[in-house]
Structure 1
Amino acid sequence: MRQNPRSIQLFVAAYEEQSFTLAAQREHATQSGVSQHVSDLEDSLGVKLFSRSIGAVQPTPAGTAYYSACVEFLKAHEMTLRAIEPFKGSRQGEIKVGMTPVMTRAVLAPAYARFTKENPNVTVRIIDSYFGELTDRVRSGELTFAIVPSSIGSKGVRTSFFASAPEMLVSGRMSSFQHCKPVKLADLPPLNLAIPGQSNARRKLIDAYITSNGVGIKSFAEFDTMAGTMDLVSRGEWATILPMMMIANDIDTGKYNISPIEDPPLILETFVIEPARKSMSDVALDFLECVKEEFAFSIAKATQLLKQGRH
């Protein structure tokens, strides 16, 4: 049997999922079909790509070496097909993008509005979720890319730096903190702090900062709902920690006291993840650039408003 893109695609899915059943579900094939394609590949190559056991498959050293080459092959194959796209008329198609709540609250809407106005024939679908689920959906190929607050590597996923933002202490207007004035968290009285749950990638960042800098905590409230967190904080007894671009539109509303965290600052880094076996289309790259521009605009806007608020 000659190697072909479909057989290689099914092999890559089986390698990344380490299961013929999961690979079949991901690629809309049958379990027996995936197994047969892999067996035919092994026969044609003259080596075993997987060692098989009940309920699982493990790649052999030959399988791992072959996988690395297959990822590059699939990416190159997709680029050859895309080379003719400019000759088909106006830009069209669909991209499916994953974002966590820190991106969807303030950055997404203006980026989406501008991009879709400039590209009316392109459909952009947004999935709002958390790091673990977005990573799984990127690896499966369901998402074109996602922007996440973690650089933890994952098989089948390519990661690149996107942007960074300082984190802010956000409290209700009736709190004792002065709006726009920087704070050193270790010097504050113990806080009632609303934070994301353990499954949220930002939780590890916040926990590490609190522990390493001796921040006093009176009590924690785990909230994985942004609307609920902001409502709780607005009532005055609780505070939370949010990245600057997320609260840029709240600084001059008079509803919250927003305090930059300093000595040391707490910095959130965000990353783009995409399927390792694919290359991002020009349309997807343009949308990503729109998001990056709006991210930078939100940071600049927040920085200026905070500076004005101190005077």
Structure 2
Amino acid sequence: MFHYSAMLSLRQLRCFLAVYEERSFTAASVREGATQSGMSQHVRQLEEELGVPLFERVGREVIPTATGHRYYQECVSILRHLERATQAASASGLDCPGQVRIGLLPTFTRAALAPALAAFTEMAVRTEVFITEAYSGVLTDMVRAAALDFAVVPAFRGATGLTVSRLMRDREMLVAAADGPIGGHLTPVRLAELGPLKMVLPGEGNTRRTTLESYFLTNAVAIARRIEFDAMIGTLELVAQSDWVTVLPAVLLGNDRGGERYAIRPLADPDLYSDFVVIEPARRVMSDAAQLFADLLKKEAWRIAERWRDSLAGPTAAEDAEGPAAAFADRPG
């Protein structure tokens, strides 16, 4: 039974959440802008107030107890209710001054971002927008630290400290130079039949690298040479000017359907799809402005998916029960 000898403070709760989500007093103190000793003191005081241990300290490891796990869920709910109440009581609508901070992969900044951003700035004229382009690891850390209102990342397992909702499923495309030997723009391609390929790939720390390497291995795709390139503009320029190729999601290539610079071919036999999700801090509630931006971005991404669907012989991008792409009669399962 818990014994309260003093009022618990929000600071204590936030420190507890940070340690739980980071599994480290050091990382939690950096995230919260506190000293490690101060972070440890807040958590220790909280445990004393509750009368139960919330963590087991094993060397440098911090492992939540069963009570710690239950307490975390309740604390997240409390902080979300508090933020929702604060938003309801304060001026926070689209007509009020505000800010949104959004993190996006290059997958979404190249074609989907500009139309969504243009629409947003017309609808929320008093809202400042800050966009961070980065890969999934950086964006996930920023969202968990509440440095971003939300981010779009590849779907992944394990979402401590995050609220996750699906954005879309997108078809993967082989991208080669339009005047190169691959040819066949817009026609499905079986990579195993193309012979050894010179492939541009993201670095090993990128979620997509694991997915692509698994696809190559499983389907006997011969790779002659690899270049690691965690720079999307550089990747596309190299492909356009050489015999190197890459594999990218269709939504990134929304402005390239005409085939002027690239021969773009959907992977087939088997098809390959990537799932993308919206992540936000579990302890926070999206503002009206952030939710509007997320909705507009999803709408634009699905519009690009539909245009690819119309350009290809088969379905491309998307599976969802709701939204613009729900019209795909033969969307992938």
Q: Deviations over 1:238-271 (max 9, x none)?
A: 1111111111201215111111222221111101
Q: Which residue of 2 aligns with 1:4?
A: 9
SS in 1 for 2:255: helix
Alignment counterpart, residue 287 of structure 1, candidates 286, 293, 307: 293
Q: CA deviation at 1:122?
A: 1.1
Q: Is the 8 A contact 2:95 2:125 kept in 1?
A: no
Alignment counterpart, residue 68 of structure 1, candidates 64, 73, 82: 73
Q: Deviations over 1:108-150 (max 9, x none)?
A: 1111111012111111211111111111111111111110113
Q: Which residue of 2 aligns with 1:103?
A: 108
Counterpart amino acid of residue 24 in structure 1: S
- 2:269 and 2:197 map into 1 onto residues whose CA distance is 17
Counterpart amino acid of residue 290 in structure 1: L
- 1:284 and 1:26 map into 2 onto residues whose CA distance is 22
- 1:13 and 1:167 map into 2 onto residues whose CA distance is 36
1:163 is the counterpart of 2:191: no
SS in 1 for 2:254: helix
Q: Is the 8 A contact 2:116 2:300 kept in 1?
A: yes
Q: Which residue of 1 aligns with 2:267?
A: 261
Counterpart amino acid of residue 193 in structure 2: D
Counterpart amino acid of residue 295 in structure 1: A
- 1:155 and 1:302 map into 2 onto residues whose CA distance is 35
Q: Which residue of 1 aligns with 2:88?
A: 83
Q: Deviations over 1:79-116 (max 9, x none)?
A: 11111245878233112111111111111111111101
TM superposition score normalised by structure 2? 0.86
Q: Is the 8 A contact 2:102 2:132 kept in 1?
A: yes
- Tell me the matched-pair count: 307
Q: For the structure 1 residues 36 and 122, does the alpha-carbon distance in structure 2 shift closer, same or farther, using more than 3 Å as the test?
A: same
SS in 2 for 1:249: coil
SS in 2 for 1:250: coil
- 2:54 and 2:185 map into 1 onto residues whose CA distance is 61
Q: Which residue of 2 aligns with 1:22?
A: 27
- 1:72 and 1:266 map into 2 onto residues whose CA distance is 37
Q: How does 1:228-239 map to 2 (within 5 A)?
A: 228-239=234-245
Task: Looking at secondary structure, tell me which structure has more helix per residue.
Answer: 1
TM superposition score normalised by structure 1? 0.91
Q: For the structure 1 residues 21 and 79, does the alpha-carbon distance in structure 2 shift closer, same or farther, using more than 3 Å as the test?
A: same
- Which ranges in structure 1 are unaligned for 5 or more consecutive residues? none
Calculate percent identity across the aligned residue pairs. Answer: 41
- 1:251 and 1:77 map into 2 onto residues whose CA distance is 47
- 1:89 and 1:117 map into 2 onto residues whose CA distance is 11
Q: For the structure 1 residues 75 and 256, does the alpha-carbon distance in structure 2 shift closer, same or farther, using more than 3 Å as the test?
A: same
- 1:57 and 1:168 map into 2 onto residues whose CA distance is 42
Counterpart amino acid of residue 96 in structure 1: R
Q: CA deviation at 1:196?
A: 1.2
Q: For the structure 1 residues 89 and 153, does the alpha-carbon distance in structure 2 shift closer, same or farther, using more than 3 Å as the test?
A: closer
Q: Which stretch shifts more, 296-305 or 162-171?
A: 296-305
Q: How does 1:1-311 map to 2 (within 5 A)?
A: 1-52=6-57, 55-85=60-90, 90-176=95-181, 177-252=183-258, 254-306=260-312
Q: CA deviation at 1:185?
A: 1.5
* Aligned-CA RMSD value: 2.0
Q: For the structure 1 residues 53 and 93, does the alpha-carbon distance in structure 2 shift closer, same or farther, using more than 3 Å as the test?
A: same
Q: CA deviation at 1:286?
A: 0.9
Q: Which stretch shifts more, 197-206 or 58-67?
A: 58-67
- Which ranges in structure 2 are unaligned for 5 or more consecutive residues? 1-5, 314-333
Q: CA deviation at 1:188?
A: 1.8
Q: Is the 8 A contact 2:172 2:248 kept in 1?
A: yes
Counterpart amino acid of residue 76 in structure 1: H
SS in 1 for 2:195: coil
